[in-house]
């Protein structure tokens, strides 16, 4: 049992590492605006699949790392991801029964929360940006969710406790 739990921690950490990697991977300027919110997607998946292991605290810490990576005010992504983790962990039983399209809508909603918070914080700091910068990731994340879901469930089935 304990070895299995350790495996679970390992695969969870690995997926988050990969998500953070994809979040800072340099992209050409036209494509960068379309970059999906990888970290938020992975977090939503784990909160849904293993809510007793990945929750609000994990989301907050990962968000803090994302803040350090993106040089946003410390706490901005942390707050957004903590909210997403909370709402997802609250509703995980319902979410597991959703068809994948409905799950994708949920993911879009979670990333919209993130976008809204980013928009507010940037507004408070007096910085303007193209609205596409906030809302394009919502779209691409929703479109990519079925594949992310497939890959992550396969990884969970193979390496973590079912």
Chain contacts with other proteins (rule: CB under 8 A) = 17, 20-21, 24-33, 35, 52, 55-57, 60, 64-65, 67-71, 73-76, 78-79, 82-83, 86, 89-90, 93, 121-122, 124-130, 133
Closest approach of other proteins to the CB of residue 71, in Å: 5
The kind and range of the H/E element at 6 are helix 2-24
If you write DSSP's letter for every residue of 53-77 in order, what string do you get? TS-HHHHHHHHHHHHHHHTPPTTHH
> Residue written as tokens 């790392």?
65
In the complex with other proteins, the residue whose CB is nearer, 41 or 104, is: 41
Nearer of residues 33 and 151 to other proteins, judged by Cβ:
33
Name the residue nearer to other proteins (CB basis): 19 or 104.
19
CB of 101 to other proteins, least distance (A): 26
To the nearest whole angstrom, how small is the minimum distance from the Cβ of residue 33 to other proteins? 6
Task: Tell me if 8 sits within 8 A of 159, measured CB to CB.
Answer: yes
Cβ closest to other proteins, residue 119 vs residue 159: 119
Q: CB under 8 Å to 88, separation ≥6 — which residues?
A: 43, 44, 47, 48, 51, 95, 106, 110
Nearest distance in Å: CB 126, other proteins: 8
Which element (helix H / strand E) includes 106?
A: helix 100-124
Query: Closer to other proteins at the Cβ: 41 or 64?
Result: 64
**Smallest distance, other proteins to C-beta of residue 144, A:** 17
Q: What is the CA radius of gyration of the chain?
A: 15
Neighbours of 79 (CB within 10 A): 18
């Amino acid at each position: 049992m304990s070895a299995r739990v350790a495996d679970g921690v390992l695969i969870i950490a690995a997926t988050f590492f990969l998500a953070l990697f994809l979040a800072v991977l340099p992209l050409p300027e036209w494509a960068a605006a379309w970059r999906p919110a990888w970290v938020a997607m992975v977090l939503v998946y784990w909160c849904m699949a293993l809510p007793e292991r990945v929750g609000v605290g994990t989301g907050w810490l990962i968000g803090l790392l994302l803040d350090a990576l993106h040089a946003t005010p410390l706490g901005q992504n942390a707050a957004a991801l903590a909210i997403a983790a909370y709402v997802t962990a609250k509703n995980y039983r319902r979410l597991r029964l959703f068809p994948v399209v409905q799950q994708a809508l949920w993911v879009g909603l979670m990333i919209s929360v993130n976008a809204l918070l980013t928009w507010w914080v940037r507004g408070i700091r007096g910085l303007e940006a193209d609205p596409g910068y906030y809302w394009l990731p919502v779209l691409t994340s929703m479109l990519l969710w079925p594949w992310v879901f497939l890959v992550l469930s396969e990884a969970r089935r193979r390496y973590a406790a079912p």
